[in-house]
Amino acid sequence: MSRSNKPALIGAGPLAGLCAFVTWGIAGAYFHAVGFADAMEILSHRVLWSALLTLILIFALGRKKALLDLLRSARTMGLLFITSLLIAGNWLIYIWSVNHGHALEASLGYYIMPLIMLILGRIFLNEQLNRTQIISVVIVTAGVLNLLVFFGTLPWIALSLAFLFGFYGLLRKLIPADPIAGLFVECLTLLPLALIYLGWLDSKGEMAFLHTGTGHDALLIGLGAMTTFPLVMFAFAARNMKFGALGLMQYVNPTMQLFVAVLLFGEPFTQAHLITYIFVWCGLALFTWDNLRTARLSRANS
């Protein structure tokens, strides 16, 4: 029985991972579609409906014990409060960027994020960097500085997204939290602020929800699924496929974001952008090659 299920499980893991990264990759198009609301209202609805959906999933998937374990730990709750602020900042900047003509720069942030996490691991977890990894970081840094030379300003959106999610990933690595229960607690932490903002917006007569049509209302409610679905798929993939392969698959996300920004939103892809992305792609190719080589050597020595 277990033999017959194994091939299906192996195939299901990569499929789930692909679903997660494709969903994140096209999320910009969804956030652009709800651009009739301001960024803070979109964020507030994302928090509200994600909290409700994750709560339903906790009961449906039997994760009540995992949630109670989180709620009983003051340290874990404190860390999840910090991660909730970090992920909210990441969400807000991304939502704002795709609705203000900066989706291309946002995609750059998710390209450089793995190397930002590499640096954070070195600083905070004392993880050693080899020569190839250091060269990768230098190459990507040169690409980022190229935009500074051409446009006279650092790509703050890309750097903010990368560092916010990098620190989020760093803290979540230290928290023994179930992914769904952890997301619920994060959304629950942000929920009072979200409800207060929505109430204030409605009192001013400026809230889009319930005032711009049922189609718009459905799109705003759907933000819960847009947030929760890829997380569940990613968590399943992480348990059922090699982590190295999952790491390589993550580049599907920013690549699709790039295509959405240029082909769907019509954002200009200038020579400066091309040079920067060539640097970034070369740095990531070197980083990926080093990871594959290290994994292969580890298997050979085991």
Cα gap 284→101, rounded to integer Å:
25
Residue 244: the pLDDT is 60
> Is the pLDDT reported for residue 76 higher than 90?
yes
Report how far apart the first and last C-alpha atoms of the chain are (Å, whole number).
29
pLDDT over 90, % of the chain? 67
The model's confidence at residue 243, banded by pLDDT at 50, 70 and 90, is low
Pick the range with the lowest mean pLDDT from 46-50, 126-130, 183-187: 126-130
Q: Where are the domains of the chain?
A: 16-297
Q: What mean pLDDT comes out for the span 212-232?
A: 95
Cα gap 287→293, rounded to integer Å:
10
Residue 9: the pLDDT is 47
- What digits encode the pLDDT tens for the residues 102-159? 999 999 999 998 888 888 888 988 888 889 989 999 999 999 999 888 888 889 999 9
Total-model pTM = 0.89
Rg value, the chain, Cα: 20
pLDDT over 70, % of the chain? 95
Question: Mean of the per-residue pLDDT values for the chain?
Answer: 90
Candidates 197, 186, 158; CA nearest to 43 is 197
